[in-house]
Amino acid sequence: MKIIPKYLSKRDSHELFMGAIVPRPIAFVSTVGEDGIFNLAPFSCYTSLCLKPALVGLQFGWKRSGEKKDTLRNIEFFKDFVVNVVDETMAQAMNQASANYPSDVDEFKEVGLTPLKSDLVKAPRVAESPINMECKLVQIMEFGNAPTGSRFVIGEVVLIHIKDELWLNDHIIISKLKAIGRLGEELYCGIKDIFEMKAPEGL
């Protein structure tokens, strides 16, 4: 099978790339809006971009209506956000938060999660999440327009909160973290089969 992406519909492109780029980490992003309403939504087109400065990147599509997603609007307004890691205990709440709630709905309340005040940014963090990364907006890159284009948000991680029980000898204990990942369709994965491979000599 060979596929030339530029001839695919948006929907088919989505299915293809979300099936091919797997597993993806899930950034559960908390923000606050101009009106003070807290917002929460998951974004799996998410990655680490640089260590010093500590940068992460998030991709935003559009609402079905063609409007900006609330998370992006809030980031543009207050210029900050928090990336919360999603573990197995939070899977249902994360999925529920991806529903298209109106902007004036507090999604923490809707999905039963607890907002905590952040130290360095206005956006709240999620108490139940094992790791919270407080981020300040650095840049928004624009690729095309609605409904097919996207926006890529780059943020600097200015503070990380990690639950003490997950931290040992300057490492996160991956086997205890129980983070989940996103696959294609409506599929997710847990971290079950962890294996080690020593890096080749000379690295």
Ligand X SMILES: Cc1cc2nc3c(=O)[nH]c(=O)nc-3n(C[C@H](O)[C@H](O)[C@H](O)COP(=O)(O)O)c2cc1C
Min dist. Cβ of residue 76 to ligand X (A)? 12
Give every CB contact of residue 127 below 8 A, 6+ residues apart in sequence. 113, 114, 115, 116
| Placement of tokens 């000898």 in the chain | 169
Residue placing its CB nearer to ligand X in the complex, 73 or 161: 73
Min dist. Cβ of residue 35 to ligand X (A)? 13
Min dist. Cβ of residue 158 to ligand X (A)? 21
Min dist. Cβ of residue 59 to ligand X (A)? 5
Residue placing its CB nearer to ligand X in the complex, 154 or 173: 154
Residue placing its CB nearer to ligand X in the complex, 64 or 171: 64
Residue placing its CB nearer to ligand X in the complex, 13 or 98: 98
Give every CB contact of residue 163 below 8 A, 6+ residues apart in sequence. 130, 131
CA dihedral (136, 123, 79, 47) in degrees, to 10, reads: 50
Report the candidate in 63, 67, 76 with the shortest Cα–Cα distance to residue 32.
76
Residue placing its CB nearer to ligand X in the complex, 92 or 139: 92
Min dist. Cβ of residue 169 to ligand X (A)? 31
- 194 sits in which H/E element: none
- 139 sits in which H/E element: strand 131-143
Residues contributing to the site for ligand X (CB under 6 A): 26, 39, 41-45, 59-61, 69-71, 95, 98, 100, 182
